[in-house]
């Protein structure tokens, strides 16, 4: 009975989105997945038609459909190009939730989500970077642990080995931001990019007083794989943990867009709606914030850098100008072709669909190489993991987090 009710609600929510599609096909020209798969089931129009037919009783949910819904990067390229601005990513998230209730979740996703919901395990993983066998995630994640560059390494690149010793990191005496800012360190930053996270903290502390509250997972992976309840519970934890902050800054694009949606996500919960709204209004992405406070890098070097737009930053939060502007202050900036096209990492997409992910990455690598840049910069650990793979493939550039370059 209870399941039926939530099922119906979920269906109603999906229908409201998918019914707006008039099947014009404009998404066929921009969807990175369709680009490599060439099947109608793998483009927004096909996904939406499938959901619609399912909701209207014309298709019976099965594992092929579940897979088709997973086979989406949630990159929003379709929405941006759609005359009716249909939110296919939201429809896919809802549809995954619906399928999860109907068919059960994929064990792999359950495991991953359970893991990301558990701070102790994350710390364990981050502390040793050798993933505990006990989590059962060792096999799943072993292949993905990327190599990480450090800020010192970047400086060395910029200056050459015979350069002066690295400048000491004395925090700026005048801090342009008066309030208290809190750094939201997402799971992937904790686990895979501790050095970049540290660089973020250093950057931030030049602008204001920084605290690092104990954060829970932002909930995005849970939402993306049909575990909305857990996503809400995590949101509440974070709202409590960050109650004191004037601003909440994250250096992960996915976390950022997830955190900015808390207000929306908890809008139906009278106890939490207002607090969630307030929380979300305080959230800013790293470059969004640095740009806002007029951050000036201490020096400009002669390295060539290019920038890859994380989907969750450029389309998810409309942040496009800020990182470019900051990079221009720090190095020689070159724009790559189709900088805002998804790199194919997309959460667990690369684990679920390695072949398609690799093809999408190959195009990204080609575009990066065409700029002759020394470094490709981005502002999302998920992209950074994917770009690190691109770095290994190509050998012609390094992939770094923006915090390590500014």
Ligand X SMILES: Cc1cc2nc3c(=O)[nH]c(=O)nc-3n(C[C@H](O)[C@H](O)[C@H](O)COP(=O)(O)OP(=O)(O)OC[C@H]3O[C@@H](n4cnc5c(N)ncnc54)[C@H](O)[C@@H]3O)c2cc1C
Chain residues in the site for ligand X (CB under 6 A)? 24-25
Q: Looking at 53, 111, 140, 201, which residue binds other proteins (CB under 8 A)?
A: 53
Q: Give the residue with the Cβ less far from other proteins, 46 or 323.
A: 46
Report the alpha-carbon distance of residue 367 to residue 61 in Å, rounded.
Answer: 39
Q: Under the criterion CB under 6 A, does residue 66 sit at the interface with ligand SF4? A: no
Q: Under the criterion CB under 8 A, does residue 52 sit at the interface with other proteins? A: yes
Q: Give the residue with the Cβ less far from ligand SF4, 73 or 385.
A: 73
Q: Looking at 27, 122, 187, 248, which residue binds ligand SF4 (CB under 6 A)?
A: 27
Dihedral (CA of 210, 216, 220, 221) sign: positive
Collapse the DSSP code of 185 into the 3-class scheme (helix H, G, I; strand E, B; otherwise coil) and give the result. coil
User: How many other CB atoms are there within 10 angstroms of residue 192's CB atom?
Assistant: 24
Q: Looking at 38, 123, 130, 264, which residue binds other proteins (CB under 8 A)?
A: 38
- Tell me the sheet residues that pair with 376: 306, 399
Smallest distance, Å, CB 23 to ligand X? 7
Residues 5-24 that bind ligand SF4 (CB under 6 A): 21-24
Partner interacting with residue 76 (select from ligand SF4, ligand X, other proteins, none; CB below 5-8 Å by kind): ligand SF4
Report the alpha-carbon distance of residue 251 to residue 255 in Å, rounded.
Answer: 8
Q: Give the residue with the Cβ less far from ligand X, 40 or 292.
A: 40
Smallest distance, Å, CB 31 to ligand SF4? 3
Residue 111: exposure state from Cβ atoms within 10 A (0-12, 13-18, ≥19): middle
Q: 259-267 contacts: CB < 8 A, separation 24 or more? A: 259/184, 259/218, 259/283, 260/317, 262/235, 262/238, 265/219, 265/223, 265/231, 265/232, 265/235, 266/232, 266/235, 266/236
Smallest distance, Å, CB 380 to ligand X? 33
Smallest distance, Å, CB 333 to other proteins? 23
Structure tokens at 169: 């990191």
* DSSP structural state of residue 370: T
Stretch that binds other proteins, among 39-47, 118-126, 147-155, 369-377 (CB under 8 A): 39-47
- Tell me the sheet residues that pair with 398: 375
Residues 338-367 that bind other proteins (CB under 8 A): none
Q: Which residue is at the shortest CB distance from ligand X?
A: 24
Q: Under the criterion CB under 6 A, does residue 51 sit at the interface with ligand SF4? A: no
Q: Under the criterion CB under 6 A, does residue 191 sit at the interface with ligand SF4? A: no
Q: Under the criterion CB under 6 A, does residue 25 sit at the interface with ligand SF4? A: yes
CA 373 vs. chain centroid, Å, equals 23
Closest C-alpha to 113, from 342, 351, 314, 343: 351
- Phi-psi map region of 96: left, alpha, beta (phi>0 left; psi -120 to 50 alpha): alpha
Q: Under the criterion CB under 6 A, does residue 360 sit at the interface with ligand SF4? A: no
Q: Residues for the chain: how many in total?
A: 406
Q: Give the residue with the Cβ less far from ligand SF4, 78 or 204.
A: 78
Q: Give the residue with the Cβ less far from other proteins, 42 or 196.
A: 42
Closest C-alpha to 200, from 301, 286, 123: 286
User: How many other CB atoms are there within 10 angstroms of residue 6's CB atom?
Assistant: 14
Q: Looking at 7, 13, 15, 28, which residue binds other proteins (CB under 8 A)?
A: 28
Q: Give the residue with the Cβ less far from other proteins, 28 or 293.
A: 28
Three-class SS string for 189-219? HHHHCHHHHHHHHHHHHCCCEEECCCCCCCC
Partner interacting with residue 59 (select from ligand SF4, ligand X, other proteins, none; CB below 5-8 Å by kind): other proteins
Stretch that binds ligand SF4, among 53-61, 74-82, 331-339, 359-367 (CB under 6 A): 74-82
Q: Under the criterion CB under 8 A, does residue 46 sit at the interface with other proteins? A: yes
Report the alpha-carbon distance of residue 390 to residue 398 in Å, rounded.
Answer: 9
Partner interacting with residue 52 (select from other proteins, ligand SF4, ligand X, none; CB below 5-8 Å by kind): other proteins
Q: Under the criterion CB under 6 A, does residue 26 sit at the interface with ligand SF4? A: yes
* Residue ranges that bind ligand SF4, judged by CB under 6 A: 21-27, 30-33, 43-45, 47-48, 72-78, 82, 84, 86, 88-89
* Residue ranges that bind other proteins, judged by CB under 8 A: 22-26, 28-29, 38-41, 46, 49-50, 52-53, 56-59, 62, 64-65, 68, 83-84
């Amino acid at each position: 009975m209870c399941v039926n009710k939530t099922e119906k609600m979920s269906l109603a929510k999906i229908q409201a989105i998918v019914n707006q599609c008039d099947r014009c096909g404009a998404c066929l020209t921009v969807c990175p997945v369709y680009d490599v798969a060439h099947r109608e089931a793998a483009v927004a129009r096909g996904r939406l038609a499938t959901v619609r037919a399912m909701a209207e009783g014309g298709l019976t949910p099965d594992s092929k459909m579940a897979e088709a819904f997973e086979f989406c990067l949630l990159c929003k390229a379709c929405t941006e190009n759609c005359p009716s601005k249909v939110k296919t990513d939201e429809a896919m998230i809802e549809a995954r939730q619906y399928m999860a209730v109907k068919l059960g979740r994929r064990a792999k996703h359950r495991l991953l989500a359970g893991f990301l919901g558990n701070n102790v395990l994350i710390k364990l993983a981050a502390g040793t970077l050798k993933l505990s066998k006990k989590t059962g995630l060792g096999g799943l994640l072993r292949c993905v642990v990327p190599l990480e560059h450090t800020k010192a390494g970047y400086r060395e690149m910029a200056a050459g080995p015979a350069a002066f010793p690295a400048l000491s990191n004395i925090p700026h005496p005048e801090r342009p931001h008066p309030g208290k800012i809190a750094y939201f360190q997402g799971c992937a930053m904790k686990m895979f990019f501790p050095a970049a996270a540290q660089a973020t903290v250093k950057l931030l502390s030049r602008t204001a007083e920084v605290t690092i509250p104990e954060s829970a997972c932002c909930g995005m992976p849970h939402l993306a794989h049909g575990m909305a309840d857990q996503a809400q519970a995590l949101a509440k934890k974070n709202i409590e943990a960050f109650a004191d902050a004037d601003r909440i800054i994250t250096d992960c694009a996915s976390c950022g867009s997830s955190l900015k949606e808390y207000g929306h996500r908890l809008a139906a919960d009278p106890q939490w709606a207002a607090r969630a709204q307030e929380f979300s209004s305080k959230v800013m992405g790293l470059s969004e914030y640095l740009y806002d406070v007029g951050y000036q890098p201490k020096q400009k070097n002669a390295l060539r850098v290019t920038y890859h737009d994380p989907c969750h930053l450029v389309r998810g939060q409309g942040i496009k100008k800020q990182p470019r502007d900051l990079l221009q202050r720090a190095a020689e900036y070159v724009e790559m072709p189709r900088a805002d096209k998804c790199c194919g990492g997309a959460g667990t997409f690369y684990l679920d669909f390695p072949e398609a992910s690799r093809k999408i990455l190959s195009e990204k690598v080609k575009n990066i190489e065409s700029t002759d840049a020394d470094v490709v910069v981005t502002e999302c650990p998920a992209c950074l993991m994917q770009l690190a793979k691109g770095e290994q493939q190509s050998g012609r550039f390094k992939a770094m987090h923006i915090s390590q370059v500014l």
